[in-house]
Amino acid sequence: MDNILYTIIIYPITQIIEFVFVFAENIFKETGLSIICVSGAVSILCLPLYMTAEKWQEAERDIQKRLAPKIAKIKAIFRGDERHMILSAYYRQNHYHPAYAMRGTFGLLIQIPFFIAAYSYLSQLEALQGASFFFVKDLGKPDMLLPIAGGINLLPVIMTLVNCAAGAVYTRGLGFKDKVQLYGMAVIFLFLLYNSPSGLVLYWTLNNVFSLVKNGYLRLPFRKKHLLLFTIISISAFLLLCYTLFILHGNPRVRTLIAVLSAAVGILPWLIPFFTGLITKIKHIPWTAGESLPLFVFSILILWTATGIFLPSMLIGASPQEFSFIDEYTNPLFFIFNAAIQFFGLFIFWPVCLYFLFSDTVKKYFSIAFFAISAGMIINVFLFSGNYGRISINYIYDSSPSHSGKEILFNFIILCIPFIAAFLLYNLKKYKILLTMISACIFSLLAISVINISKINTSFIELQKYYVKEYKKVKEVSPLFSLSRNGKNIVILMLDRAISVFIPHIFEESPELRQIYSGFTFYPNTVSFASGTRIGAPPVYGGYEYTPEELNKRDKISMVEKHNQSLTMLPHILLENSFIVCVTDPPDVNYDWKGDLSIFDDYRIKESGIYTCITDSQYTDFWLSEHDLNLQKTGDIIKRNMFWYSMHKGLPLFLSVVFRQMLA
């Protein structure tokens, strides 16, 4: 249950943080700057929540201030049950409940999931190890900037001071209880993060700086009277900071970013009136919050269905064997369930929470935005699916496809259509048309997903019978191949995707290997008949009768049957010539990815001269335990990359490069 709650609440935030970090790292190649980008992105995303929390807290303080005199009199006069009854009646008269006091802590509560997500990602981020940023030599370790008493971590102290300054501005004019609460949190974070990696402390310090700026703007009395002066001072301070960083930093990418940010901040005050006017127009769109709710619900449902169920079931349904019996995850349907839980948090839990936090006007924005996003995702999935080639079980593409500028521009123009349609149809009070279209799409996706899941389960049941029979984890290593000391030995190693021209260079770099393989003959001019296993393997096992050209001549026999025949040809010939034959892991039997020995059922008896077995994945756990190694589990990789695979397939093409890197 705890893991499901983490996946729903924390995991989406963690993936957003990872995406921003990878995106910034790809552009600027600077780990410290990437952390700054993550902090800025999270702060901007949280800003609406902070603004809502501020309104709730102010409303709570006003109510408590208004009710306080009467409550004090009641407590002074009455005792026990009588006091409780009178207070309850007084609260009802004022439409208030003591539980509403929790609204005052909302500003702190919303920080918890973001802190947990940042901590879980940054505290274990390998990119921080050894990365320096200005005065911090290693972002993966505590900073130890003050060489006093064995070293004192300075960043946590700076973080706490900034946090206290933000709290002092925020609690100006408030009661002792509010001040103790904020200062207490600052001290708690000091102890929690004191020995944490300096990259994580840098992230949280920047969050506190943002909080200080926000509180200064919202709480200081000159906010409205001297807004122009405050803006000029803020921009000047920012430009001074940028100039200082520009001088200190030698990375040209970083300096370019600083110049762009400086220019953006300079023109920002001139853009505010434009966006304010646009928002004013949206406010007057003629529909109510009650009418926007169905569209919002259907939009998030289609997002969740497409990414969490449809796309995973389509991928796994193409090859259920590859996703079966992975680590402790036996049934491949688990990975669909896990993806559904992940996207439930991203597209159901968090959007619903945000939707009901805001005003009716903001709910209109949500309805428009999520309809356009859901429609755009469907367009990308079905119209811009792209030909990315084959993808491995770890979601690594064979090739590195790219999109031309024309493709990206055309995709962007097409994706603008849902936004335009939403505005037009809502203004014309034709939103029922949108509901009909999107509901039909949901049911279609669900129907296809159910069919895929049924096929996956059927395939798994058949595979399970064979898997139990053939796949057994070994507890010790025993000989599989018997080689003669005096007679002839024929050893055929089919190394999938091996490139023979590299072998001489490998021997040159490692002369000891040449001695080890001195009894083998290397044929440098051999070639494969195809680049893929299913076409390249049959000639190796069956000879020239199974080259692509010869296979195509026998068009009355299925390709699967011809493939299976080729795999039995060489073992049968060797058996007829009095060889003892051992066959392990024949490739793609019955076009199944998992090993299959059923084609040898008629003569795979050891006494008759043929011995067959599956070695793939059978010795991995044994070898790891023997060498005391712990590798990342394939199941964990699939769970993580399934999320990014769906995102990659559903979002615009200009983001595809970054999302493919998330799969790398």
pLDDT digits (tens, 9 = 90+) for 37-60: 888 888 777 777 777 777 777 777
The answer to whether 351 and 370 are in contact (CB under 8 A) is yes
| 610-613 and 581-584 strand pairing | parallel
Number of Cβ within a 10 Å radius of residue 74: 17
Number of Cβ within a 10 Å radius of residue 472: 11
Beta-carbon-side half-sphere exposure of residue 562 (alpha carbons within 13 Å):
23
* DSSP conformation class of 331: S
H/E run at residue 584: strand 581-584
The predicted pLDDT at position 526 comes to: 72
> What are the angstrom distances between the C-alpha of 60 and each of 79, 279, 629?
26, 28, 55
What is the 3-class SS of 389-426, one letter each residue? CCECCCCCECCCCCCCHHHHHHHHHHHHHHHHHHHHHH
* DSSP conformation class of 346: I
The predicted pLDDT at position 208 comes to: 77
Name residue, tokens 């793939």. Answer: 616
Tell me the H-state helices in 471-589.
Answer: 503-509, 511-516, 533-542, 548-553, 559-576
The answer to whether 627 and 477 are in contact (CB under 8 A) is no
Name residue, tokens 């003591």. Answer: 98
Cβ contacts of 246 within 8 Å, gap of 6 or more: 255, 258, 259
Q: At what angle do helices 634-650 and 311-318 cross, to 10 degrees?
A: 120
Residue 136, beta-bridge partner list: 133
Give the integer Cα–Cα distance in Å for 149 and 65: 49
Give the integer Cα–Cα distance in Å for 477 and 237: 68
Give the integer Cα–Cα distance in Å for 185 and 164: 9
Where the chain has pLDDT below 70, the residues are 1-2, 96-108, 143, 145-151, 167, 169-182, 214-291, 386-402, 422-423, 425-431, 466-475, 593-595, 603-609, 656-664
Length of the chain in terms of residues written: 664
The predicted pLDDT at position 397 comes to: 67
The predicted pLDDT at position 341 comes to: 93
What is the 3-class SS of 511-532, one letter each residue? HHHHHHCCCCCCCCCCCCCCCC
Backbone angles phi, psi at 398, to 5 degrees: -60, -45
> Of 472, 306, 326, 391, which is closest to residue 334 (Cα–Cα)?
326
* DSSP conformation class of 306: I
Kindly state the tokens that stand for 480: 């599989």
Give the integer Cα–Cα distance in Å for 75 and 84: 9
Name residue, tokens 């039995």. Answer: 568
Kindly state the tokens that stand for 104: 């005052």
What is the 3-class SS of 631-648, one letter each residue? CCCHHHHHHHHHHHHHHH
pTM: 0.73
3-state secondary structure of 601: coil
Give the integer Cα–Cα distance in Å for 393 and 52: 43
